[in-house]
Amino acid sequence: GQNIDQPTEMTATEGAIVQINCTYQTSGFNGLFWYQQHAGEAPTFLSYNVLDGLEEKGRFSSFLSRSKGYSYLLLKELQMKDSASYLCAPLDSNYQLIWGAGTKLIIKP
């Protein structure tokens, strides 16, 4: 079956760095997305990885290891507005997004 595993909740301090891990098992693989979702709002695109390695985009970076079925999202210089859920979503062989339930990130002053 297809499965996404990411922590339910994490807490971090404003200005710090946090890493949100995601492991996945899918039928085939065509890349992996990370989305940010603030409470009561729709998801917004953060990153897409299809090759192994680290992709950096400002304060946010995303890493992928296809052989390990593993990805992480790294958030630097945390701000209060980064309090949100972060959803890991790999694409399977049919180009269907397989969504995780998300990691709720709580930022404390």
| 4 binds another protein per the rule CB under 8 A | yes
* Residue 69 binds another protein, judged by CB under 8 A: no
The partner residues of 16 in beta bridges, in order of sequence, read none
Tell which one of 12, 102, 105, 107 touches another protein (CB under 8 A): 102
90 part of the interface to another protein, by CB under 8 A: no
What is the chain's alpha carbon radius of gyration, rounded to the nearest angstrom?
A: 13
Compute the least distance from the CB of residue 35 to another protein, in Å. 8
* Residue 99 interacting with another protein (CB under 8 A): yes
Which residues sit at the interface with another protein, rule CB under 8 A? 4, 8, 30-31, 33, 35, 40-45, 48, 50, 87, 91, 95-97, 99-102, 104
